[in-house]
Structure 1
Amino acid sequence: MSIIQTIRDRAAVIMIVIIAVSLIAFILQDAFSGRGGMGSQSTTIGKVNGREVDYVEFQKMVEAQEAQYAQSGMPVNESTRQTIRENVWNQFIGEELLTAETKELGMQVSPKELNDMFFGDNPPQDLRQQFTNPETGQFDGEALKAAIRNLKSQKNTPQAKQFAEQYIPAIGKSRLQEKYFSLVSSASYVPKWMIDKMASDNSAIANISFVNVPYATVSDSTVKVSDDDINKYVSAHKEQYKQEKTRSIVYVAFDAAPSGKDTAETLAQIQQLKEEFTTTPETEQFLNRVGTESPFFDGYVLKSKLQVVNADTIRSLAPGQVYGPYLDGGNFVYAKMLSSRSIPDSVKCRHILISTQTGLPDSTAKTRIDSIAGAIKSGADFKALAEKYSDDPGSKSNGGEYEFSSLNFASLAKEFAETVFYGAAGDKKVVKTQFGYHYIEVMSQKNFETAYKIAYLAKPILASNETETTASNAATQFAGDARSLSSFKDNVKKQALQEFVAADIKENDFAIPGVGSSRELVQKVFGADKGDVLEPVNVGDKYVVAAVTEVNAEGTMSAAKARPLVEIFVRNEKKAEEIRKKLGNAATLEAIAGASGTQVLRADSVSFASTFVQGAGSEPKLVGMAFNKANLNKVSPLINGTSGVFAVKTESIGAKGNDAMNPQQMKESAQMQMKQFGGRSALEGLRKSATIKDNRSKFF
């Protein structure tokens, strides 16, 4: 409830926001998480333009963000770690690139500017919200200064270090990035001639006659596309066919999910516990003793917020009554109604805290809070006493006031929460919590609703050792019999197994599509050669045996890799050659139509602003030729289009009225668009020109 906790929580938020906003061009990379060995003597996890990223430094930032996630009540699992590691990696890249660029430009954030950011007219949003006076609606800079002084006085505490080492630098970096983006955006300019050209192009229309000889008139079977043809095409379009280091696999999976027998045994186990669960008066102790997948919550949940399986049935239970067993996900569950009561969804309260966490003796703290309670009872001003004596800097500046929703209940000290939610408006009392002694006044309570205290006995349906062993043995036997890719496929057929494909696995991936999250399997795939069959890997409720089918190095795609993407273009080029030979020297549209067995088509009001031509579809090259004045009343050279070979004769070029947007509006719109994309384009440019070495896969 203190400002220390608030700043710590909000530091996590602002760090995440800064990364997301300033590195938007970078976060569209493949995610990764997990950790592997550190066999290499080097601790360099990567390099950005020669600047080494040390593993220890990197991991320290990862762990700090993991702690922030946990403090915010967010689960820290493999998926979360994957996101965090990716964010931290992108942060290193972005900070290094932007730091170097802003340094070269001579940009900086002065101490005076940083001070103005905190205490000026436009402080960070999170601090503005925390230190806005609820009575005046004005930001209270003096209260913020007091809170920061309090943090500084704590010197080496984790909260003070986090504020000094993370929050303040993050604010400075954010401002420096804002300045850089502003500089780039301010350079955006659209000249008048460009607007005039855009307006002219958008209003241009043409009437044309044309002939379309579709590629489909040449049979695919007559056109052979060799690997040399593919490589030649890819070489001419290298930028479009770059690839990361990837590998592809085929795999089979042996099911280790709980069997029917396993499910029946779990059901029998939980049924044996029902009677004691129903009759015991010590429900929490019982659940702690026998174990449950749904931890006991010693509080009430509002009817509108009780979102569980069979909620309507559970709400209708009488106190002490048990419902179940029923299935909830992978668990068999019994629900026991303990009690119900009416509680508010939101409360407003105020308090004064005398902390015992600073070393103050318990008896002294109790004496002080009793004196404060007596003074208030005698008419002393609550707000003045809070500002003078409360040890909670998060509320002392506004008279000790807080507003909570029922969702905050679990995050508050139990005794404090019960006082403000279970008591009545107007209650005033001394309460002891783990933080010390509070004098609490319940100011108001709103939106009362029936709430329920419910206990859940949940037992997961797990695979037995027998089920696990059967699946493991089957996978091991298969892998032993399939020591090459060809024998792998033979055994798949012999055993009538289903073969799956997972393509384009990246070195830093932590999950494989169709398989699930398994860093172990990814590492084994990248430790193998093409054609290798891997030993079984346990992934979730199955054992996976994989064979490496494709190894792709970083760089330009091979013919085999590029063929599915470019074969149609190469084939159409070859078909175009055949069509041109067939047309020979035909010089008129009628002659071309006669030689190809097609007909002369006509399209009116073809728009320069659109690639669509009636009777042809989307054909950008045809539209371009239509507006080439060299083709006015003349037959154009043959054009290799998207769907066939074309010849066009432009009959007229004119303009239509364009009242949709005046030139000034067009200029403002174009300039705004340039500004919006300016920062991102600059970051993309810095990224493309940077030398980045990524060694993360060796560490995680």
Structure 2
Amino acid sequence: MAILEKIRNRSLFLILIIGLALFAFVISDLIGKGDFSALKSSSTIGEVNGETLSVEDFRLKAESTMQNLGPNASTTQAVNMVWEQEVRNTILAQEFEKIGLSIEKDQIINLVKNNPAIAQSPMFQNEAGIFDDAKFIEYIADLKVSSPDAYAQWTMQEDAIIENAKQQTYFNLIKAGLGTTAKEGEWVYRQEADKVDVSFVQLPYSSIADSTLTISDSEIKAYMSKRKDDFKQESMRNIQYVFVEEKASEGDINTVKENITKLLSSSVEFNQDTNSNDTIPGFSTVTNVEDFVNKHSDIAYDSTFVTKKQLPSLQAEDLFALEVGAVYGPYEDNGYFKISKMTAKRPNGSARASHILVAYQGAQNANPSLVRTKEAAKAKIDSLLIEVKKPEVDFATVARENSEDGAASQGGDLGFFQKGDMVKPFADYVFGNGVGSIGVVETDFGYHIVKITEKEDVVQLATIAQEIEASENTINDLFAQATKFEMAATEDYKNFGDIAKGMEMNVLRADNLLAIDEYIVGLGSQRSIVQWAFAKDTKHGNVKRFSVNNGYVIAQLTKKTEEGLAAVKDARPFVEPILIKEKKAELLKKKMEGKSMQDIASANKVEVKTATGLTMKNPLLGDAGREPRVVGTAFALEKNATSGAIEGSNGVYMIQVTNLNIAPKLDSYKTYMANATTLKVNRAGQTVYLALRKAAEVEDNRAMFY
């Protein structure tokens, strides 16, 4: 007991000693590895021009974005969206600071007024329907006290409003400095007004086979050294993989089909309570269809009436033609075996109509600022009814100009609907009158002019659906197959493809994966595979099995490319065609030296061709294609002058100017100046940001956290 007491008395001391020892171990490990910066990066998701981006702040924004995107969005999608936004905001904020641009708190109300979602909310409007500053300020003050979480959301929205205002001001300042001189306006005019006619001879690059030319590694390296920025690359990985799909075997499919077929007929079951056999009705004869479906189907009973086009396309004709009480199937549809029973038919049960709504003060969903009386609304709807009944009047046009609901933009078209989809007065009119009828209906929303445009029959089918899925035995067999391949490929990693071929598996590739990528060709979203490919411990040739939603993936890392200048072998596919084209140009130029156009044509068995009405704006040189350099050269020559060899996009050319039509000067080029300025202004925001982004030093640590 004395020993235990001593341990208790010294427990705090021991904990401190152990804690300090562990801390010292971590610090020494970091220093020993030269990785002291890891302490910093553990809380930093990135840097932009030396300014750090907090991972905690980033996570909150990513989670909020995930919620806004909805359940179908992936974490990586949200992360990438937030990352691009954070980088953009940080770069621009740094620019704002340089020029002293700020938005003061007292300007926020004015900014809020420009936000329709807030300014048009009835809770912030006065009796006249106008935004009330005092109501808004009072609401925010109450929010701060009553709902701190909601207030925090508002402060985030407030920051976004301020940020957007800064960006708009910044880009407006840039746009204000953009203009076009009269000389530039004249140049724009001449690009489309000046015209030239030429005769030309072309020696196409295709006349020399690529195989006759050789490009060395040193030539590619020399080309790259002059254009280093063009060949900077991110860290990338290539993988190859096989996919073992967890799908039903032929035996599984037959079993599901047999089981659902048995449900069609009555069956006999022994009843232990009565010590006798009971006859269980089948789907064809059962009276309580809903209970029978819910007992035997993987998809719950659905009483909805449907049109023929809503039925499975391959079976639609047969299903729609069934008599009430008749059964069809089994049939395969969308991964299920199904049997269906016709339970009801409803002629003209689906209708399509268009309407024009005229609301009045106090009507449901009417604009709070609307002052029109019910009597005035009735007078207007009666007037419009007379108008739309005229043969020459287009109902859709009148609806677009007068209707006061969301369907106005579609010419009042509401699409197809059934009786229960609409309020009773509206539905009663549509389903109580024939196609082509036009009349007035009053509902809680106001007065409607309704035009019935189409009707369709609908049917009600009870359907039992049983999913076609792999049985437990099949799943076990597939797992064994995947494991067998993984073990064989790991042991003999150099023969991954041959092993797959021997096991009748297809090998697929996914090249140039980036560290933050998520999607893999043929597999969809598979973030874990990308993370494995980029892990420090994953070596070239390594193999790993992954469980995915519908099977197994056995992947192999086939290539690691680190950040920096691309290797010659990686750049070759891009550079080699350029250098081959340059060599061809030199060879073709030599064929033209000291020769006339006709001599060149005769020696190379080509024709001297003509092209007329060429402009700098549209430099299309007949069937030779787009050749801006050739056409530009033509405008630099005098009439009847002949050029030397011109290296074009599709070949080497020699041209002679046969006619040069210089358009007359204009008294004013203001129209051209205005168009050019508009073009500059429209491009300014994107162009400026892209330039800032390219010049920025950005450190991206997303892959460490996601």
Please give the secondary structure, in 1, of the residue aligned with 2:102.
Answer: coil
Question: In the alignment, which residue of structure 2 is the partner of 1:180?
Answer: 170
Residue 224 of structure 1, aligned match among 214, 221, 225: 214
Looking at structure 2, the residues matched to 548 and 619 of structure 1 have their Cα atoms a distance apart, in angstroms, of 44
Question: In the alignment, which residue of structure 2 is the partner of 1:15?
Answer: none
Question: In the alignment, which residue of structure 1 is the partner of 2:378?
Answer: none
Looking at structure 2, the residues matched to 271 and 39 of structure 1 have their Cα atoms a distance apart, in angstroms, of 65
Residue 611 of structure 1, aligned match among 611, 615, 619: 619
Please give the secondary structure, in 1, of the residue aligned with 2:498.
Answer: helix
Deviations along 1:151-185, whole A, 9 cap, x unmatched?
Answer: 82573536623542322222222222222232222
- Structure 1 residue 255 displacement after superposition: 3.2
Question: In the alignment, which residue of structure 2 is the partner of 1:649?
Answer: 656
Aligned partners of 1:211 and 1:593 also within 8 Å: yes
Question: In the alignment, which residue of structure 1 is the partner of 2:21?
Answer: none
Change in CA separation of 1:595 and 1:314 when aligned onto 2, cut-off 3 Å: closer
Question: In the alignment, which residue of structure 1 is the partner of 2:704?
Answer: 698
Looking at structure 1, the residues matched to 529 and 466 of structure 2 have their Cα atoms a distance apart, in angstroms, of 30
- Are 1:469 and 2:476 counterparts? yes
Looking at structure 1, the residues matched to 130 and 288 of structure 2 have their Cα atoms a distance apart, in angstroms, of 51
- Are 1:568 and 2:577 counterparts? yes
Aligned partners of 1:143 and 1:397 also within 8 Å: no
Deviations along 1:367-418, whole A, 9 cap, x unmatched?
Answer: xxxxxxxxxxxxxxx99xx9xxxxxxx999999xxx999xxxxxxxxxxxxx
Question: In the alignment, which residue of structure 1 is the partner of 2:690?
Answer: 684
- Structure 2 residue ranges without an equivalent (≥5): 1-37, 265-280, 354-360, 372-403, 407-419, 427-442
Deviations along 1:614-642, whole A, 9 cap, x unmatched?
Answer: 3532222222222223x765543322222
- Structure 1 residue 193 displacement after superposition: 0.8
Change in CA separation of 1:318 and 1:48 when aligned onto 2, cut-off 3 Å: farther
Looking at structure 2, the residues matched to 693 and 305 of structure 1 have their Cα atoms a distance apart, in angstroms, of 57
Question: In the alignment, which residue of structure 2 is the partner of 1:192?
Answer: 182
- Structure 1 residue 189 displacement after superposition: 0.7
Mapping of residues 249-268 of structure 1, within 5 Å: 249-267=239-257
Please give the secondary structure, in 2, of the residue aligned with 1:190.
Answer: coil
- Structure 1 residue 532 displacement after superposition: 0.8
Looking at structure 2, the residues matched to 444 and 336 of structure 1 have their Cα atoms a distance apart, in angstroms, of 40
Question: In the alignment, which residue of structure 2 is the partner of 1:243?
Answer: 233
Question: In the alignment, which residue of structure 1 is the partner of 2:48?
Answer: 48
* TM-score (norm. length: structure 2): 0.67
- Structure 1 residue 141 displacement after superposition: 2.5
- Structure 1 residue 607 displacement after superposition: 2.4
Change in CA separation of 1:258 and 1:624 when aligned onto 2, cut-off 3 Å: same
- Are 1:579 and 2:585 counterparts? no
Mapping of residues 61-76 of structure 1, within 5 Å: 61-70=61-70, 76=71
Aligned partners of 1:45 and 1:54 also within 8 Å: yes
Looking at structure 1, the residues matched to 209 and 173 of structure 2 have their Cα atoms a distance apart, in angstroms, of 57
Looking at structure 2, the residues matched to 627 and 610 of structure 1 have their Cα atoms a distance apart, in angstroms, of 13
Residue 90 of structure 1, aligned match among 80, 84, 88: 84
Aligned partners of 1:516 and 1:539 also within 8 Å: no
Looking at structure 1, the residues matched to 292 and 370 of structure 2 have their Cα atoms a distance apart, in angstroms, of 41
Letter in 2 for 1:58: F
- Structure 1 residue 58 displacement after superposition: 1.9
Letter in 2 for 1:478: F
Aligned partners of 1:128 and 1:139 also within 8 Å: no
Looking at structure 1, the residues matched to 324 and 151 of structure 2 have their Cα atoms a distance apart, in angstroms, of 49
Aligned partners of 1:208 and 1:650 also within 8 Å: yes
Looking at structure 2, the residues matched to 687 and 126 of structure 1 have their Cα atoms a distance apart, in angstroms, of 31
- Are 1:127 and 2:121 counterparts? no
* TM-score (norm. length: structure 1): 0.67
Change in CA separation of 1:205 and 1:345 when aligned onto 2, cut-off 3 Å: closer
- Structure 1 residue 322 displacement after superposition: 8.9
Looking at structure 2, the residues matched to 331 and 264 of structure 1 have their Cα atoms a distance apart, in angstroms, of 12
Residue 334 of structure 2, aligned match among 329, 333, 338: 329
Please give the secondary structure, in 2, of the residue aligned with 1:141.
Answer: coil
Please give the secondary structure, in 2, of the residue aligned with 1:618.
Answer: coil
For the aligned residue pairs, the C-alpha RMSD in angstroms reads 5.0
Looking at structure 1, the residues matched to 52 and 495 of structure 2 have their Cα atoms a distance apart, in angstroms, of 45
Question: In the alignment, which residue of structure 1 is the partner of 2:629?
Answer: 621
- Structure 1 residue 194 displacement after superposition: 0.2
Looking at structure 2, the residues matched to 667 and 304 of structure 1 have their Cα atoms a distance apart, in angstroms, of 58
Deviations along 1:42-85, whole A, 9 cap, x unmatched?
Answer: 13222222232333322222222333455xxxxx14x4433322
Question: In the alignment, which residue of structure 1 is the partner of 2:109?
Answer: 115
Looking at structure 1, the residues matched to 461 and 104 of structure 2 have their Cα atoms a distance apart, in angstroms, of 56
- Structure 1 residue 480 displacement after superposition: 2.7
- Structure 1 residue 336 displacement after superposition: 8.8
Count of aligned residue pairs for this structure pair: 573
Question: In the alignment, which residue of structure 2 is the partner of 1:10?
Answer: none
Letter in 1 for 2:678: M
Aligned partners of 1:481 and 1:487 also within 8 Å: no
- Structure 1 residue ranges without an equivalent (≥5): 1-37, 71-75, 347-381, 387-393, 406-418, 426-441
- Are 1:81 and 2:58 counterparts? no
Deviations along 1:89-133, whole A, 9 cap, x unmatched?
Answer: 222112212222223222222233211333x5xx42123443299
Letter in 2 for 1:126: A
Looking at structure 2, the residues matched to 326 and 182 of structure 1 have their Cα atoms a distance apart, in angstroms, of 63
Letter in 2 for 1:217: S
Looking at structure 2, the residues matched to 285 and 144 of structure 1 have their Cα atoms a distance apart, in angstroms, of 62
Question: In the alignment, which residue of structure 1 is the partner of 2:515?
Answer: 507
Question: In the alignment, which residue of structure 1 is the partner of 2:566?
Answer: 557
- Structure 1 residue 422 displacement after superposition: 8.5
Aligned partners of 1:238 and 1:556 also within 8 Å: yes
Letter in 2 for 1:465: E
Looking at structure 1, the residues matched to 198 and 163 of structure 2 have their Cα atoms a distance apart, in angstroms, of 57
Looking at structure 1, the residues matched to 343 and 137 of structure 2 have their Cα atoms a distance apart, in angstroms, of 43
Question: In the alignment, which residue of structure 2 is the partner of 1:534?
Answer: 543
Residue 157 of structure 2, aligned match among 167, 174, 194: 167
Looking at structure 2, the residues matched to 491 and 398 of structure 1 have their Cα atoms a distance apart, in angstroms, of 75
Aligned partners of 1:131 and 1:144 also within 8 Å: no
Change in CA separation of 1:276 and 1:165 when aligned onto 2, cut-off 3 Å: farther
Change in CA separation of 1:64 and 1:643 when aligned onto 2, cut-off 3 Å: closer
Deviates more, 1:318-327 or 1:220-229: 318-327
Looking at structure 1, the residues matched to 560 and 91 of structure 2 have their Cα atoms a distance apart, in angstroms, of 31
Please give the secondary structure, in 2, of the residue aligned with 1:175.
Answer: helix
Looking at structure 1, the residues matched to 598 and 541 of structure 2 have their Cα atoms a distance apart, in angstroms, of 61
Deviations along 1:457-507, whole A, 9 cap, x unmatched?
Answer: 655433223223323322332333334664123334444543323222222
Please give the secondary structure, in 2, of the residue aligned with 1:612.
Answer: coil
Change in CA separation of 1:154 and 1:236 when aligned onto 2, cut-off 3 Å: closer
Aligned partners of 2:293 and 2:463 also within 8 Å: no
Mapping of residues 472-487 of structure 1, within 5 Å: 472-483=479-490, 486-487=494-495
Aligned partners of 1:626 and 1:648 also within 8 Å: yes
Looking at structure 2, the residues matched to 640 and 688 of structure 1 have their Cα atoms a distance apart, in angstroms, of 31
Question: In the alignment, which residue of structure 2 is the partner of 1:205?
Answer: 195
Question: In the alignment, which residue of structure 1 is the partner of 2:678?
Answer: 672
- Structure 1 residue 192 displacement after superposition: 1.0
Which has the greater radius of gyration?
A: 2
Looking at structure 1, the residues matched to 483 and 658 of structure 2 have their Cα atoms a distance apart, in angstroms, of 74
Letter in 2 for 1:124: N
Aligned partners of 2:237 and 2:534 also within 8 Å: yes
Change in CA separation of 1:200 and 1:144 when aligned onto 2, cut-off 3 Å: same
- Structure 1 residue 571 displacement after superposition: 1.3
Change in CA separation of 1:692 and 1:150 when aligned onto 2, cut-off 3 Å: closer
Deviations along 1:592-651, whole A, 9 cap, x unmatched?
Answer: 44554545444343322222213532222222222223x765543322222322233334
- Structure 1 residue 692 displacement after superposition: 1.5
Please give the secondary structure, in 1, of the residue aligned with 2:543.
Answer: coil
